[in-house]
Amino acid sequence: MIQLSKIIASFLIKLLFILLLVSSTAVSGQKRSTSVNISSSGKTTVSIKNGFGNNFSLEYKGEITLSDDDTDVISISDNGYMEIKKSAFGSRRRIFIEPDNSGRLIKKYYVGGSQKSFDAEGKKWLSEILLEVVRSTTLGAEKRVDRFYKEGGSYKVLKEVGNISSEHVKSRYLKLLLEKDLKEKDLISVLNTIGDDIDSDHHSASILKSHTKKFLAYEGATSAYIRATGEIDSDHHKAEVLKRSIKDGEISDTQLKALFQITKAIDSDHHKASVLKEVLDRRSLSSENMKLLVSTAKDINSDHHKASVLKQALNKNDMPQSVYNTLLSSIGDMDSDHHIASVFSELLRNKIDGASLTYLLDLVGDTMDSDYHQANVLSQVASKQDIANNVLTNYLSALREIDSDAHQASTFKELSRKDFKAAQLIKILEATNNISSDHHKAESLLSFASKVRNANSDVKAAYTAACKDISSSSHYGRALRAIQ
């Protein structure tokens, strides 16, 4: 019988342990919620729910002064008051404190609905609950931060921040600390705390944006600032912090590389583009960083947003020639002929070297399906760029990708406005064979007639040979007579 009792007792103890473990896990899994309301009369109400009935609320009005050890309320301004309520597992307790006419504090303590002796029980409970109150709310935050800072500098303040669970309250303490005259090492510590201990993107971004110039005044702090920004998950908040840093700080070229790395991690095309455009608006870029910017733009999926960044980059007066190929490679992933053509058009406003122009001509046929857009780009090349012999070969190859005879003919007409050597003219005349329509083939040849008349016999022979491919006798005769 005794042995059976021991077995039952052992089972009950184990069962109680399991229930306590499950209860503890459930409580810890409960989401903490905090609501704060400040009325027009100056009354502040804070309600905090920790789950399973473990809740407390604070209501106060006026200026509340706590003791240096945060265990007592030592003064409340005239017409002010403070009330703390807490319920946990069915137990309800409350303290109400207000000043009398002479400023002396009247403190009342209640358990359930009954008033108890404050000196006997309430004083102890107030000393226990006040620490929870100040770590869950911003009550006394300014004086607490001043006190901790005086005692042990930013280290002591940050240590207290580590004891605070509320993101809002942590944010308030860090902002108050940042109002101090901090050294670079202190700023780095604050930034590390933001990156490691603040889970809320909203609060992290708010702190980083509120003291941008202070953070970016030092090389090491700027690097820590960029790292902390990289910990933000929200594309919106991350982009806003990066744009503020670009606006307010003098970021070095080295730090800018890190900024581009963070920008790459932004998923939103809109926000990624907005950061890159802010960089282009606010600062001149080295060749290396311009390449990094264009490379970052390559990760933008939206043709609209990618094109807007690339066109703005092309508008920079200091855009180096070495970046053009990097920029052109980023166009290969675009689908919209309209947006591809718009970037090409912007690029062709600048004078580009032969290698980049050859690359562009290769892309015209590879990336664009629209005859209209292909012809439009090739016409712009003909009107704005020098076409060397090697470039002409690629140009004519791109022209052959156009299916529409009308668009091919319009491109030949634009090309005829340029001056070419005899060998180049022969290549161009031979390329008209790709046009099926007698009318458009004749029109293309006629556009070169004045140049052919003054050219050598080889060029005239090439022109005559091209005319023979015209089936219509009227178009053939018209084209041939033009050089006689």
Q: What is the DSSP string of 84-101?
A: EEEEETTEEEEEEEEE-T
In tens, the pLDDT along 272-298 reads 999 999 999 988 888 888 999 999 999
Global pTM exceeds 0.85: no
**The pLDDT value given to residue 27:** 40
Strand stretches in 205-265, DSSP E: none
Chain centre to alpha carbon of residue 439: 54
What's the pLDDT score for residue 87? 83
Q: Take residue 109 and report the two structure tokens written for it.
A: 């303590």
The percent of residues above 90 in pLDDT, for the chain, comes to 61
The 3-class SS string of 299-313 reads CCCCHHHHHHHHHHH
Evaluate whether 345 touches 380 at the Cβ level (below 8 Å).
yes
Using CA atoms, how far apart are residues 333 and 191, in angstroms rounded to an integer?
37
Instruction: Sort residue 42 into left (φ over 0), alpha (ψ -120 to 50) or beta.
Output: left
- Please report which helix (H) or strand (E) contains residue 58, including its range: strand 55-61
Nearby residues of 123 by Cβ (< 8 Å), 6 or more positions away:
72, 107
- How does 101-137 read in b/e, with b if 16+ C-beta sit within 10 Å? eeeeeebebbeeeeeeebeeebbebbeebbebbbbbb
pLDDT value at residue 261: 87
CA distances from 416 to 331, 379, 391, 445, 450 (A): 29, 10, 16, 9, 9
The pLDDT, as a whole number, for residue 5 is 56
Q: Tell me, what's the pLDDT at 30? A: 47
* Other Cβ atoms within 10 Å of 190 Cβ, number: 27
**25: Cβ–Cβ under 8 A, 6 or more apart, which residues?**
none
Q: What is the pLDDT of residue 340?
A: 95
- What residue ranges of the chain have pLDDT lower than 50? 9, 11-30
Rounded to an integer, what distance in angstroms lies between the CA atom of residue 290 and that of residue 36?
Answer: 47
pLDDT at position 205 is 95
